[in-house]
């Protein structure tokens, strides 16, 4: 006789995730952060799973357990899908301010930038081509599809370039004045520059 779902079964299934699941998600997130950090500083060929594991504070076998192999791990790291979801998550009329706020908050709270790793594509040979292709389809073309009016493609690329410049000054050049400025002050000054490209003529 087949099992029949009951309301209590449904309630249990919809309940909060178990501690084991939360721990697994936390560990996977730490591994991905470590891989992104290394990808922004070393050539893909020079990065080992051991180095990723050490930076994440886990064992190399655990990296294999969650991601299978190095190629599978870096396929995730080279995707901008989830980052673009957060970066572009605002109405178009307020998107410029949101993008600036999100970049600054990501730098300050996580020590990471949602899209800045595209700047390191030349380090990665053929994998750099994958990074560029993902960036094009998942970030700039996705943004362009939301815009109205003429020249949507170049306006999207200019808006993203403007945000990338902010990320370079904040996270790589580490401008002291920028680093000390309140987030909303940066948003007020820089957001309109990004928004001007989004709005177009």
Tokens, residue 200: 């177009």
Read off the pLDDT of each residue in 92-97 and give the average, rounded to a whole number: 97
Pairwise CA distance, residues 88 & 98, whole Å = 8
Kindly report, residue by residue over 109-147, the tens digit of the pLDDT: 877 788 888 888 887 788 888 889 999 999 999 999 999
SS3 content of the chain, % helix, strand, coil (to 5): 75, 0, 25
Residue 16 has a pLDDT of 53
Does 12 or 88 have the greater pLDDT score? Answer: 88
The percentage of the chain sitting over the pLDDT mark of 70, rounded to a whole number, equals 89
Read off the pLDDT of each residue in 74-93 and give the average, rounded to a whole number: 89
| Cβ neighbour number for residue 165 with a 10 Å cutoff | 13
Check pLDDT > 50 for residue 10.
Answer: no
- Provide Rg for the chain, Cα atoms: 20
């Amino acid at each position: 006789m087949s099992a029949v779902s009951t309301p209590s079964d449904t309630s249990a299934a919809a309940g909060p995730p178990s501690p084991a699941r939360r721990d697994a998600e936390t560990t996977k997130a730490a591994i991905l952060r470590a891989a992104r950090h290394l990808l922004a500083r070393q050539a893909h060929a020079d990065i080992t799973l051991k180095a990723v594991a050490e930076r994440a504070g886990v064992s190399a076998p655990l990296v294999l357990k969650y991601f299978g192999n190095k190629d599978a791990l870096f396929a995730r790291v080279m995707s901008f899908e989830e980052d673009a979801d957060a970066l572009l998550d605002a109405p178009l009329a307020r998107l410029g301010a949101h993008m600036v706020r999100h970049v600054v908050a990501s730098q300050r709270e996580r020590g990471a930038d949602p899209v800045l790793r595209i700047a390191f594509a030349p380090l990665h040979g053929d994998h750099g081509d994958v990074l560029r292709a993902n960036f094009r389809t998942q970030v700039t073309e996705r943004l362009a599809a939301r815009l109205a009016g003429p020249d949507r493609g170049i306006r999207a690329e200019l808006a993203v370039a403007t945000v990338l410049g902010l990320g370079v000054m904040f996270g790589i050049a580490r401008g002291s004045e920028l680093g000390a400025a309140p987030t909303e002050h940066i948003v007020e000054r820089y957001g309109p520059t990004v928004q001007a490209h989004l709005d177009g003529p």
